[in-house]
């Protein structure tokens, strides 16, 4: 395919789109970029896991320093602080408004036996009243993993919950524990979320 090479700068007095009728990238007259339909892209949002009693024997979660992981013992209780890890994720300005935040867990799978984690979450919307209530989701982390387990210790990824979040800068709060009663600890190396993005950021500080 031939490409025409421009030696000077191009100037637009109006917006220009590249793509089809529904899947396209829009270059606005001010130079900003926005993606629509299948032109949107994906990225991770990340945060550290925090536990009230990590490095103690009081709860069901503890650091595994040798493996750079957090170890979850069986029979945790989502209502017991010492059994949980907590974290908050704030929505980046590049995220497409109203799309789902897809929380997933990176963990070490040691066998094919079903294991259960409970995720408790709530969404704090910017400019709205504080959300006091929580939603619980119980997930069998071996039911729909990203990779098929065969033997040994597998670096596995499992989706936990998909949460629709309205606007930029909204915060999702999480509590996570392991609630099955099967023997042996489960090591978790990271919990993060995938987001769909339709721009490089927001045009205004608090407005998409």
Q: Phi first, then psi: give them for residue 120, nearest 5 degrees.
A: -110, 130
How far apart CA 43 and CA 86 sit, in angstroms, is 22
Q: Residue 18 has what pLDDT?
A: 87
- 192-201 residue pLDDT tens: 999 999 888 8
Average model confidence (pLDDT) across the chain: 88
Q: What pLDDT, in 10s, does the model give residues 150-173?
A: 999 999 999 999 999 999 899 999
Find all residues with CB under 8 Å of 33, minimum gap 6, and list them: 25, 26, 27, 199, 200
Q: What domains appear along the chain, each with residue ranges and CATH number?
A: 1-39 (no CATH), 41-197 (2.60.120)
- Return the pLDDT at 122: 98
List pLDDT tens digits, range 18-60.
899 899 988 888 778 888 898 887 766 777 665 555 655 568 9
Instruction: Categorize the per-residue pLDDT at 203 as very low, low, confident or very high, splitting at 50, 70 and 90.
Output: confident
Q: What is the pTM (predicted TM-score) of this model?
A: 0.80
pLDDT(9) > 70: no
C-alpha distance across the termini of the chain, in Å = 37
């Amino acid at each position: 395919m031939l490409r025409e090479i421009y030696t000077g700068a191009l100037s637009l007095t109006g917006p220009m789109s590249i793509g089809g009728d529904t899947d396209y990238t829009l270059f606005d007259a001010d130079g900003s970029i926005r993606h629509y339909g299948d032109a949107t892209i994906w990225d991770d949002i990340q945060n550290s896991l925090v536990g009230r009693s990590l490095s103690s024997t009081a709860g069901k979660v503890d650091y595994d320093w040798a493996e750079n992981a957090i170890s979850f013992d069986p029979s945790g209780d989502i209502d017991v602080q010492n059994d949980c890890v907590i974290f908050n994720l704030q929505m980046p300005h590049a995220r497409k408004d109203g799309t789902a935040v897809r929380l997933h867990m990176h963990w070490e799978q040691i066998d094919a036996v079903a294991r259960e984690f409970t995720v408790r979450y709530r969404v704090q919307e910017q400019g709205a009243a504080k959300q006091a209530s929580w939603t619980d989701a119980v997930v069998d982390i071996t039911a729909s993993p990203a990779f098929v387990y065969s033997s040994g210790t597998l670096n596995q990824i499992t989706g936990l919950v998909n949460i629709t979040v309205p606007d930029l800068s909204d915060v999702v709060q999480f509590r996570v524990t392991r609630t099955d009663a099967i023997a042996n600890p489960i090591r978790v190396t990271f919990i993060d979320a995938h987001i769909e993005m339709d721009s490089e950021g927001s045009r205004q500080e608090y407005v998409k």
